[in-house]
Amino acid sequence: MTTASDRPCPVRRVAMISVHTSPLDQPGTGDAGGLNVYVVETAKRLGMMGIEVEIFTRRTSAALAETVQLAPGVLVRHIDAGPYEGLAKNDLPGQLCAFAAGVMRHVARSPEGHYDLVHSHYWLSGQVGWLAADRWDVPLVHTMHTMARVKNAALAADDRPEPGGREIGEEQVVRASSLLVANTPREAADLVALYGAEPAIVEIISPGVDLAAFTPGDRAVARAAVSLPEAAQVVLFVGRIQPLKAPDVLLRAVARLLAQAPERRERLVVAIVGGPSGAGLERPRRLQQLARELSIADVVQFVPPVSRDELVQWYRAADLLAVPSYSESFGLVALEAQACGTPVVAADVGGLPDAVGDAGILVDGHDPDDWAHAIARLLDDPVRLSSLAARAGAHAADFGWDVTTERLLDVYRHACHQSAEDVAELPVPSFAGVPAAPIP
């Protein structure tokens, strides 16, 4: 793909669509996670580049204003679609018509050509983005974030498969998109192999990390800030509490760890930072119960979702971050931890190999014994831990959001350029046998 400077097509205003989760939501709660971070960070930086961004999301509270300024040049527009509370993500397909109608009503007040393109996030948003882009005659750029067929191929034992309706919806969005943004080469290959995407419309852009916020710091200070003993061995999990993220695998591994070396119990702290989500909402206390059943409740701390500033302190305080997910399109938490100088032990799935690079350990599979062995090897080898910590910061430094956003803007301009070329190639109509003048 050529660069932004090669293109004559300006991008002035972008409509982003995020139906099922708001950029204003706290990551780690409900359905808010990496997608929210991606939308917020890229929109803010597009705004700094002089691109106006309007993000359409579903209103989940009567207290939310119709329009909220997220950052200079970035507006969040709340659309009424279904009840404000108590609507699960799997119920949202039935509200897409109402959501799309709300978007159309809002935009009807704007002049023609108000948006240069639509960027939709997740398949539900893609369904609305498809309609909006077609109605406004602008390109549709779509980012999947996760895909049903990928998730269904790697389900946790107690997780539910994604419904067939989602697979169909994703296929439709792939066919309707002008360009698809994939986080990694593996995700790009999945789009082609599992959804029939044309390779020429798939662009690979790695997500990023806020390198100004996530930085190394003094471990003792960080541990004091989150009330951890200075001499502890700290294993951290950050994410939504649901089977897909596999926090239970970590707890079972910790039980094996303590069974093999009971003396670890005096120093070991396992911190689980996040809130129930997805299937985890059905049994919100299941993980606490499992810790009791495994007789490790005394070493496990459950921490509700925290602000970004506090999350930085948790990363700095940890000896390592564990990411045992069954599926991850990328794994932003791994990159955030590494930016803070914390090594990562992650499952060898999805985009995690790209996120971790050579600054951590990848575990093949989800056998608790394998995870216990990988964690023990690091905790018992301070020299290796220190070496990985140094590499972690260097690896994360290549993944700033500024780079991601510049690449994304290239994709936007490419989509607009291709759209302009398509219009220019349309046949020129003739009237009464007299050819019309060529389109200049």
Question: Total structural domains in the chain?
Answer: 2
The burial of 170, by beta-carbon neighbours within 10 Å (0-12 exposed, 13-18 middle, 19 or more buried), is given as buried
pLDDT at 434 over 90: no
Helix axes 185-195, 164-176, angle to 10 degrees: 100
Confidence of residue 306 (pLDDT cuts 50, 70, 90): very high
Annotated ligand binding at 44? The verdict is: no
Annotated ligand binding at 38? The verdict is: no
Residue 26: predicted pLDDT: 76
Annotated ligand binding at 36? The verdict is: yes
- Tokens standing for 165? 């309706």
The pLDDT tens digits of the residues spanning 189-216 come to 999 999 999 999 999 999 999 999 999 9
Q: Average of pLDDT values for 250-276?
A: 96
Contact 412, 119 (CB under 8 A): yes
In a domain? residue 367: yes
The pLDDT tens digits of the residues spanning 5-32 come to 444 568 999 999 999 888 888 776 667 6
Q: Are residues 390 and 414 in the same domain?
A: no
Q: Are residues 123 and 151 in the same domain?
A: yes
Residue count of the chain: 440
User: What does the alpha-carbon distance between residue 412 and residue 130 come to, in Å, rounded to a whole number?
Assistant: 16
Q: Minimum mean pLDDT among 40-54, 106-120, 271-285, 316-330: which range?
A: 271-285
User: What does the alpha-carbon distance between residue 15 and residue 27 come to, in Å, rounded to a whole number?
Assistant: 22
Residues forming a β-bridge with 209: 400
Annotated ligand binding at 32? The verdict is: yes
Contact 128, 103 (CB under 8 A): yes
Confidence of residue 285 (pLDDT cuts 50, 70, 90): confident
Q: Are residues 266 and 361 in the same domain?
A: yes
Long-range contacts (CB closer than 8 Å, 24 or more residues apart) made by 84-93: 84/59, 84/60, 85/60, 85/61, 88/281, 89/20, 89/31, 89/124, 89/278, 90/163, 92/19, 92/20, 92/58, 92/124, 93/124, 93/127, 93/165, 93/169
In a domain? residue 429: no
Residue 278: predicted pLDDT: 61
Confidence of residue 433 (pLDDT cuts 50, 70, 90): very low
Annotated ligand binding at 413? The verdict is: no
Element (H, E) at 228: none
Annotated ligand binding at 158? The verdict is: no
Q: Are residues 119 and 157 in the same domain?
A: yes
Contact 58, 82 (CB under 8 A): yes
Task: Return the CATH number at 164.
Answer: 3.40.50.2000
The mean pLDDT of the chain is 90
Helix axes 368-379, 247-260, angle to 10 degrees: 60
Annotated ligand binding at 3? The verdict is: no
User: What does the alpha-carbon distance between residue 121 and residue 160 come to, in Å, rounded to a whole number?
Assistant: 22
User: What does the alpha-carbon distance between residue 85 and residue 21 come to, in Å, rounded to a whole number?
Assistant: 13
Residue 276: predicted pLDDT: 85
Annotated ligand binding at 70? The verdict is: no
Q: Are residues 69 and 111 in the same domain?
A: yes
28 vs 72: which has the higher pLDDT? 72
In this prediction the pTM is: 0.89
Q: For the residues of 72-127, what is the DSSP string, one character each?
A: TTEEEEEE--S-SSS--GGGGGGGHHHHHHHHHHHHTTSPTT--SEEEEESHHHHH
Pair type for strands 434-435 and 430-431: antiparallel
Residue 87: predicted pLDDT: 83
Q: Are residues 283 and 167 in the same domain?
A: no
Annotated ligand binding at 166? The verdict is: yes
Q: Average of pLDDT values for 26-44?
A: 84
What number of H helices and E strands is found in the chain? 15, 16
Annotated ligand binding at 43? The verdict is: no
Annotated ligand binding at 160? The verdict is: no
pLDDT at 332 over 80: yes
Contact 125, 20 (CB under 8 A): yes
Contacts of 50 (CB under 8 A, 6+ apart): 73
In a domain? residue 180: yes
In a domain? residue 214: no
Phi, psi of 328 (to 5 degrees): -145, 125
Residue 279: predicted pLDDT: 59
Provide, rounded to the nearest whole percent, the portion of the chain with pLDDT above 70.
Answer: 90
The pLDDT tens digits of the residues spanning 377-408 come to 999 999 999 999 999 999 999 999 999 999 99
Annotated ligand binding at 33? The verdict is: yes
Annotated ligand binding at 15? The verdict is: no
Annotated ligand binding at 157? The verdict is: no
Annotated ligand binding at 133? The verdict is: no
Q: Are residues 276 and 318 in the same domain?
A: yes
User: What does the alpha-carbon distance between residue 363 and residue 371 come to, in Å, rounded to a whole number?
Assistant: 7
Annotated ligand binding at 336? The verdict is: yes
Q: Are residues 252 and 183 in the same domain?
A: no
Question: In which domain, by residue range, is 296 found?
Answer: 219-398
Q: Are residues 196 and 242 in the same domain?
A: no
pLDDT at 266 over 70: yes
In a domain? residue 433: no
Q: Are residues 180 and 232 in the same domain?
A: no
In a domain? residue 39: yes
In a domain? residue 3: no
Q: Are residues 65 and 186 in the same domain?
A: yes
pLDDT at 108 over 70: yes
In a domain? residue 192: yes
User: What does the alpha-carbon distance between residue 276 and residue 274 come to, in Å, rounded to a whole number?
Assistant: 7
Q: Are residues 248 and 319 in the same domain?
A: yes
Provide, rounded to the nearest whole percent, the portion of the chain with pLDDT above 90.
Answer: 78
